[in-house]
A = this chain, B = another copy of it.
């Protein structure tokens, strides 16, 4: 518990009011700084204004709560004491940074102000004290720029224009080439820009600067880009952001200064070696923004061996303390090391697995912690990203190489603008977003793109960090290409690519290739297999795959499927030799004609099942009977109709009439699912025969299999009974004919609200349920998946829905039906087998819900299986952890 009315938490000097556990109140950054200070790291002193203050501010018409003002003043005193300098004192000035920091990390999302406390007097004092006029005025002009941009909304570009003009006038290339006198001039020009755009003089009072800046951080919580980031990342339920006010330390006071970022291990590969970048004589922002290309951290060993050694020791201690790979920001001020920030580092899927397994080997963590904490389900998804099929692209197609910023290969049309990328993706196009660099304004387009390519910036640039976080392929800092936004093209000097042309990128290798390259599935290393073994050790819910073909089934087994949860039989209907038999079945006027056509299909279906069952061995396989409306199997274009009619040897008029007859206003709600088998029991008979003849054949070969026959789209128990009778009748015929029996189960999809609402009755007759959450979502919301795109984008953007319910299960509505059906089904039949086979079976948030609802298994596409296995292990471990803690 924290004290009432305590809005400010101090840290620094090896002590802190807060600690790591207080992320909710102090934000991730604030809690981290407190913890770092507490464990003795050389953190510049500072204080954190709580997230509650932010909430109070935003709820109370932008007023501060009582006492906040006094506590901030006390905080400044604490800083002054710790750093031996005074805020606003021209002789011995203290400058501070003001940063946001919510509970969850939101890189680049929140506005930051540096060098606060500067004014015309202080800058002179600083110049004198540091004997570095250049540094002092450079800091001042940076401060005016940031304060103007972040706090007062003066576009950064206007300041950039100033410095650009200045450089032209004095004929220098780099900002750092400007001398003190020139920067002094620049400060005046910046102030003029400020005045022109705000209508006010630049505030000289450091306390006024501080108040404005704190408010700007509070306000930034509700900026549209922050809101958008939270949406895309599903960050919900937070109070607001904390504000961290911290003494500035400088990496740009001369050549014994440096600033850098590093990861305690390689965030791309997971290799246990310091990995990072630094710049001599620079501010931290220069590294992150990717404006100057930094040096690799290893070279610091030569340049500043003592500091490097200290960093190594700190890195080791931090990993021991946090039990995780750390992402550290540091500054060396006149030879003295300060750690500005440490946090769990973002990493690629490959790195996550490698780090988790290595740390277990190093006895840093247990296997349980490795599974629970060190790898995100999305990491595994990312691991499964495709790669280029041919390892070596033809040289002439290579447009350039850049940093392998986020692994995986992607193919798409070039788009240069984030908004357009979003729109094109909404139209269903594959897009590669190509930017000089990316900024927080671009996150929408970045999220929509298949991959990201930048021509500037390092491994820790905005593009790289965000892309890795999302597991999206990214090639960053590809200096081989020149982008021209106006002409909407980029060129490597030889080849020019226009917007809309196809390119391929490989974020694992850092290669950009012209055209649409073929992609192939990834292979897995020993770390992966080791890790997945641990995952399965902690997993209590079974996983199955949705697989319709022997190929799918083989893939499913490779990825750890313990059975098939959904084998759709209709996909088997489209084969060359089969489709005409299917069509004959559809146009049949009598059960006899229909049966004749179905008899042609029988051997094909039986062979399909033979192959799948044989592959799956003794594992359960759930076969769903025919589901889609029959018109899906008929042609719809005039010339095609004539062709098919000819093949079927019937007049085109007859076929056309049949097609017309089968036409439906709302096919999703039409004559499909079990409604087909009920009106045409011959179809159910044939399918049952194919399944069970295959099963009996394999039984005779010694397999111990129990096929599960699943009746789709049940809404009433009477439907189920009707179809079950057909199945049982055909089964006993087959067993008699073949002189052998197999056990089989008959169950149903629960994918219609009425089935969930009458699950008790249905469970009395059925041996298993499998939730078809795709259709259940369609009917519970009354959304057509094919049409809802139009308003769903609006809905998610405007927060009417937290997520697209077809991607993340709506636990409140659809989930309630899942709970009702599971509870009431099991009340009637305690051993009822219950699973889920909708797309949600491969989505971690939804999987956590299914675990909590007590389902026996989730079934998803083979490629989502590792993710599903990890998500299930994690929710189980976290639930166990909560039970222990409670």
Interface residues of A (CB under 8 A from B): 664-671, 675, 678-679, 713, 715-716, 718-719, 722, 751-754, 757-758, 775, 778-784, 786-788, 790-791, 794-795, 798-801, 810, 812-814, 816-817
Which 7 A-B pairs rank lowest in CB-CB distance, beginning with the nearest? A669-B784, A666-B784, A754-B813, A665-B786, A670-B787, A753-B753, A664-B787
Q: How close is A630's CB to chain B, nearest CB, in angstroms?
A: 11
In the complex, what distance in Å separates the CA atom of A549 from the CA atom of B786?
A: 35
Residues of B within 8 Å of A722, CB to CB, are 798, 800
B754 touches A784 (CB 8 A): no
15 contacts between A and B (CB under 8 A): A665-B667, A665-B784, A665-B786, A666-B669, A669-B783, A678-B798, A679-B791, A715-B783, A718-B799, A719-B800, A722-B800, A752-B782, A753-B813, A758-B812, A758-B813
A787 surroundings in chain B (CB, below 8 A): 664-667, 669-671
Give A418 to B816 CA distance when docked, in angstroms.
Answer: 47
B669 touches A753 (CB 8 A): no
A751 to B783, CA, bound (A): 13
Known: A754-B813, A791-B678. A716 touches B671 (CB 8 A): no
Do A813 and B715 touch (CB < 8 A)? yes
CA A783 to CA B675, docked complex, whole Å: 10
Residues B678 and A782 in contact, CB atoms below 8 Å apart: no
CB distance from A762 to the nearest CB of B (A): 11
- A716: contacting residue among B669, B719, B752, B800, CB under 8 A: B800
Complex-state Cα separation, A525 to B283, whole angstroms: 96
Let me know if B671 and A754 touch, CB within 8 A: no
From known contacts A718-B799, A780-B757, A795-B678, infer whether A666 and B810 are also in contact, taking CB-CB under 8 Å. Answer: no
Contact A679–B780 (Cβ < 8 Å): no
CA distance A836 to B602 in the complex (A): 49
| In the complex, chain B residues whose CB is within 8 Å of the CB of A817 | 753, 757
In angstroms, Cα B681 to Cα A794, docked, is 12
Contacts of A783 in B (CB 8 A): 669, 715
Interchain CA distance A476-B665 in the complex, whole Å: 41
Chain B residues closer than 8 Å to A794, beta-carbon distance: 678-679
CB contacts (< 8 Å) of A751 on chain B: these are 782
Q: What distance in Å separates the Cβ of A776 from its nearest Cβ neighbour in chain B?
A: 9
CA A775 to CA B816, docked complex, whole Å: 20
**A668's contact among B754, B782, B799, by CB below 8 Å, is which?**
B782
CA distance A783 to B667 in the complex (A): 9
Complex CA–CA separation, A813 to B666 (angstroms): 21
Does A790 lie within 8 Å of B671, measured CB to CB? Answer: yes
Q: Quick one: which of B753, B790, B795 contacts A779, CB cutoff 8 A? A: B753
CB-defined contacts of A799 to chain B, threshold 8 Å:
718
Contact A757 B801 (CB under 8 A): no
Interface centre among A664, A669, A781, A788 (most CB of B within 10 A): A669
Q: Which of B668, B715, B719, B780 contacts A666 (CB 8 A)?
A: B668
**Nearest-CB distance from A696 to chain B (Å)?**
30
What B residues does A790 contact at CB under 8 A? 670-671, 679
Q: How far is the CA of A177 from the CA of B675 in the complex (A)?
A: 58
Closest residue on chain B to residue A713 by CB atoms = B782
Q: How far is the CA of A810 from the CA of B813 in the complex (A)?
A: 21
